[in-house]
Amino acid sequence: MSILRTARLESNLTGPEVSRLTGISATNLYRYENKNRKLPIPVAKKLAEIYKTRWERFYDDTEGREGE
């Protein structure tokens, strides 16, 4: 599971809820979560504010990996 999706789920938010809070379309949000679209830093900062986390977390490839 992607770090971005994990952060959303930890915040108990649905994609459509995040979309309403940020103005980011649910489609684009899911693309960011599935790494089908590159996450721009301004969007990462907006999501981090909603999820109450550091925006840099979304670019940390090692988070969530088991056995490393």
Residue 61 confidence (pLDDT): 66
pLDDT tens, position by position, 27-63:
999 999 999 999 999 999 999 999 999 999 999 865 5
- How many angstroms from the chain centroid is the CA of residue 16? 13
- List all residues 6 or more positions away from 28 whose beta carbon is below 8 Å from its beta carbon: 37
pTM for the structure as a whole: 0.83
- Identify the CATH assignment for 3-59 out of 1.10.260.40, 3.40.50.2020, 3.90.79.10, 3.30.870.10: 1.10.260.40
